């Protein structure tokens, strides 16, 4: 079983086998690094993850995190660093970060859980990639083996997932927010310019 939070569904429990069949070769398995393994409690991490079951998806948090990537905004606004600032509904990687910290390991120190993105987890020194999952009955075994070997090698060598698998959802949300906020800034600039007689 896999506890996760999904756009449109919120915190849910799915069969891992179904997810692997749906996303073959795209689910990477990480392991807590050797130094932190003794103090890490998987039971506490799982218990924390179970708390998100039935909760809505953390759209406010993901929109806030996306805004921090906008041009100009990211020059002046930094994500919160303290985990004391956590709260609200988490999105996928924020939920994982929160659960991991409950288990005794902060995967991304100096960054609040609610601002932790998938790339932050993939680059975390606290977790090491082990392998990727493929279904037993994947039709083209030769292509599957080559695809998975290439992906696994890239994950192990770089310590993160390839950029192309990061998902279009995040990119589209960021792009839409950039256009929306850019339009607001432009409208405010024009209004201010007309009021002050600059143009």
pLDDT at 131 over 90: no
Residues 136-158: tens digit of each pLDDT: 877 655 555 555 556 656 665 66
Q: Of 153 and 96, which is predicted with more confidence?
A: 96
pLDDT at 106 over 80: yes
Contact 138, 144 (CB under 8 A): yes
What is the overall mean pLDDT for the chain? 78
Q: Give the residue numbers spanning the domain of 124.
A: 2-196
* Number of domains comprising the chain: 1
Phi/psi at 30 (nearest 5 deg)? -115, 155
pLDDT at 110 over 50: yes
Percent of the chain whose predicted confidence (pLDDT) is above 70: 69
Residues 183-192: tens digit of each pLDDT: 777 677 667 6
């Amino acid at each position: 079983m896999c506890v996760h939070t999904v756009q449109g569904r919120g915190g849910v429990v799915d069969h891992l086998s179904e997810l692997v069949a749906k996303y073959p070769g795209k689910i990477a398995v990480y392991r807590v690094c050797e130094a932190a393994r003794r103090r890490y409690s998987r039971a506490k991490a799982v218990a924390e993850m179970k708390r998100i079951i039935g909760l809505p998806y953390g759209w406010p948090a993901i929109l806030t995190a996306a805004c921090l990537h906008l041009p100009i905004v990211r020059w002046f606004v930094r994500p919160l660093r303290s985990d004391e600032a956590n709260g609200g509904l988490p999105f996928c990687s924020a939920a994982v970060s929160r659960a991991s910290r409950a288990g005794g390991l902060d995967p991304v120190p100096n960054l609040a859980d609610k601002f932790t993105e998938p790339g932050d987890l993939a680059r975390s020194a606290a977790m090491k990639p082990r392998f990727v999952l493929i279904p037993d009955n994947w039709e083209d075994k030769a292509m599957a083996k080559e695809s998975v070997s290439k992906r696994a090698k890239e994950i192990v060598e770089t310590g993160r997932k390839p950029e192309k698998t990061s998902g279009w959802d995040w990119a589209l949300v960021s792009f839409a927010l950039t256009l929306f906020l850019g339009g607001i800034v432009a409208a405010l600039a024009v209004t201010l310019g007309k009021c002050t007689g600059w143009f």
